[in-house]
Amino acid sequence: MMNLDLSQAKIAVIGSGTMGIGIAQLAIVNGHSTILYDLDREKTQQAVDGLHQTFAKLTEKGKLTSEQAQQALSRLTIADQIEALASVDLVIEAVVEKLEVKQSLFKQLATICNDQTILASNTSSISVTAIASAVPHPERVVGLHFFNPAPVMKLVEIVQGLKTTEVLCQSLRTLMLAWNKIPVLTKSTPGFIVNRIARPFYAEAFRALQEQVTTYDQLDYALKQCGGFAMGPCELTDLIGQDVNFSVTQSVYEAFFYEPRYRPSLIQKELVDAGTWGRKSKQGFYRYDEKNQYVTFQPQLITAPSFHADVQVQGTWAQCPHLLERLGLSRALASNENIIQIDDVDLRLSQGESVNIDYPNRKTVLMDWHHHFEQAQAVVLSHNHLCQADDLATVEDFFAQSQIKVLWISDHPALLTLRTIVLLINEACEASLHGVASMEDIDNAMKYGVNYPKGPYQWMMQLGAEYVLATLNNLYAIYGEEKYRASLYLKQYVAKQQCIRADYSKDLKAFA
């Protein structure tokens, strides 16, 4: 299997559902002679008819010429019998997500196709190693996980089973680049990259709801406004389907031998048990009308005619560039702590503390991280038990001077956005520790697979690895739970950076 050239590969797609017909569309648009096979001939014909309509719409929009559409469709044939796939170079299956079904299918293909035929599975969660275990020449079995809708979504996870050759993975990577996709290479571990690393985005949101910190709509608003996410976790799981998302979480949890980081949520289980699965049932966290519209949260801006509090600033606020400028504050004097003192209230950027446990003797407000303070519309804050109503009003007035709304939540270590992001970073570090994928591929997977505004490692560079580690250590100290334990990979990374800085400092002194 050396020097595989798949640019003219003859392709077969098995399964004519949404994913299968989408993959077939990609193949024929990119010049490949393609066979579509499904046990249900009527379903297959309906899928092909739908593809003709799709091409007609693309032609109307000017994305394809009539000639291009006709040529692409001429490359597609429907097979009535699986034996028609005997001469293809690459088979991509997109059938039901059951290990025994995929194993049986690939065993059958192994008797029909030659030993060099590549057998690729579009599985999103099943072990490629397990699929390949029942197949002769398992080195040619690989995962090729497209994201829905396949013609639109850029990301493709190329999943290497235990016996899959590196040459095959690299050859498929070249093919996917030719298809204008963003391919990432990953080992065959539970959840691969995206479905593994994304777990904290949902888990920490549901935990905040279970601990009665805030409401589902305020939570979604906070993650969108402060984190820059396209959708909040409650909106997104309603869109995916609460039953589907819960099932994925369960499968990852079980596949990792009940690792606490992936434990499913009782909040979500309650929705699933009630049949409130989201948009498809017209009720999940939100209620949906016939157009799938729903009511979202918008905080009110409290306008203050004047503001007279005494404000003092300490620290560099390095994790929040432009914050001081946006608030109209001068650069602070050097300090080990970042504090904006508003009369006798200390406003601090959260670093994973509990505002009540860690600051019991002084009026303190903790602020959540914001991805872009220049354009911030709101901040998320929590306060300790010493703060009175007039203190909170003063803090609200302080932010109102800069047209920033305040969203108060209960005491919740690392609040909402910061907590979510540091745990996404930690999960990425665990994946790196186990050699699942490269840092670059992890970042690309999360940006293009689930549309995150940044990849986990880009966030880590922005926040600073030491700050991320300190936040996780505080969370772990407060909860005492393994799910908040900082990854060894992150600890080693921080230690290495500190060593580099120390050596650099010595060199500067020697040069001076």
Q: Provide, rounded to the nearest whole percent, the portion of the chain with pLDDT above 70.
A: 97
Cα separation of the two ends of the chain: 58
In a domain, 383, yes or no: yes
Is residue 508 within a helix (H) or strand (E), and if so which, with residue range? helix 488-511
For residue range 69-79, what is the model confidence (pLDDT) as tens digits?
999 999 999 99
In which band, very low, low, confident or very high, does the pLDDT at 236 lie, cut at 50, 70 and 90?
very high
For residue range 174-200, what is the model confidence (pLDDT) as tens digits?
999 999 999 999 999 999 999 999 999
In a domain, 3, yes or no: no
* CATH assignment at residue 359: 3.30.750.190
Contacts of 126 (CB under 8 A, 6+ apart): 97, 98, 99, 102
- 3-state DSSP call for residue 95? coil
pLDDT of residue 364: 98
pLDDT of residue 22: 97
pLDDT of residue 502: 72
CB 125 within 8 A of CB 152: no
Q: What is the mean pLDDT of residues 47-69?
A: 96
* Tokens (6 digits) for 237: 């799981």
Query: Both 205 and 173 in a single domain?
Result: no
For residue range 264-318, what is the model confidence (pLDDT) as tens digits?
999 999 999 999 999 999 999 999 999 999 999 999 877 766 788 999 999 889 9
SS3 letters across 397-412: HHHHCCCCEEEECCCC
Choice among 93, 127, 145, 383 that is catalytic: 145
Query: Both 88 and 166 in a single domain?
Result: yes
In which band, very low, low, confident or very high, does the pLDDT at 504 lie, cut at 50, 70 and 90?
low
- 3-state DSSP call for residue 14? strand
Domain end: 358, 391, 408, which one? Answer: 408
Query: Both 180 and 279 in a single domain?
Result: no
Pairing label, strands 339-342, 345-349: antiparallel
In which band, very low, low, confident or very high, does the pLDDT at 491 lie, cut at 50, 70 and 90?
very high
444 is catalytic: no
pLDDT of residue 15: 97
In a domain, 2, yes or no: no
Give residue 354's identity as a one-letter amino acid code. Answer: S
Contacts of 492 (CB under 8 A, 6+ apart): none
Q: What is the mean pLDDT of residues 1-14?
A: 88
Query: Both 317 and 452 in a single domain?
Result: no
pLDDT of residue 509: 63
Query: Both 462 and 483 in a single domain?
Result: yes
14 has a pLDDT exceeding 80: yes
Letter string b/e over residues 165-185, b meaning 16 or more CB atoms within 10 A of that residue's CB: beebbebbbebbeebebbbbb
Query: Both 120 and 38 in a single domain?
Result: yes
Least confident of 124-128, 141-145, 332-336, 467-471: 332-336
d(CA 349, CA 488): 25
pLDDT of residue 44: 96
In a domain, 507, yes or no: yes
In a domain, 42, yes or no: yes
In which band, very low, low, confident or very high, does the pLDDT at 1 lie, cut at 50, 70 and 90?
very low
Query: Both 202 and 183 in a single domain?
Result: no
In a domain, 1, yes or no: no
* Tokens (6 digits) for 318: 């390095």
Query: Both 280 and 328 in a single domain?
Result: no
Query: Both 401 and 440 in a single domain?
Result: no
For residue range 344-402, what is the model confidence (pLDDT) as tens digits?
999 999 999 999 999 999 999 999 999 999 999 999 999 999 999 999 999 999 999 99
Query: Both 158 and 262 in a single domain?
Result: no
d(CA 415, CA 227): 12
Number of domain units in the chain: 3
Sheet arrangement for strand 182-187: 76-79, 34-37, 11-14, 90-93, 118-121, 141-146, 155-160, 182-187
DSSP result, 279-312: GGGTBSSSB--TT-------PPP---S-----EE
Neighbours of 286 (CB within 10 A): 20
CB 396 within 8 A of CB 406: yes
d(CA 5, CA 441): 23
141 has a pLDDT exceeding 50: yes
Q: What is the mean pLDDT of residues 241-250?
A: 95
* CATH assignment at residue 266: 1.10.1040.50
- Mean pLDDT of all residues in the chain? 95
Q: What is the mean pLDDT of residues 408-432?
A: 98
385 is catalytic: no
Domain end: 366, 391, 408, which one? Answer: 408
Q: What is the mean pLDDT of residues 313-332?
A: 89
Letter string b/e over residues 452-489, b meaning 16 or more CB atoms within 10 A of that residue's CB: bebbbbbbbeebebebbbbbbbbbbebeeeebbbbbeb
30 is catalytic: no
Domain end: 408, 424, 459, which one? Answer: 408
Q: What is the mean pLDDT of residues 503-511?
A: 61
Choice among 16, 121, 157, 474 that is catalytic: 157
Choice among 30, 121, 122, 124 that is catalytic: 124
Query: Both 20 and 133 in a single domain?
Result: yes
Query: Both 24 and 150 in a single domain?
Result: yes
Choice among 30, 127, 195, 474 that is catalytic: 195
pLDDT of residue 499: 86
Neighbours of 58 (CB within 10 A): 18
In a domain, 26, yes or no: yes
DSSP result, 476-489: HHHH--GGGPPPHH
195 is catalytic: yes
Containing domain of residue 446, as a range? Answer: 196-213+216-294+415-511
503 has a pLDDT exceeding 90: no
231 has a pLDDT exceeding 60: yes
In a domain, 301, yes or no: no
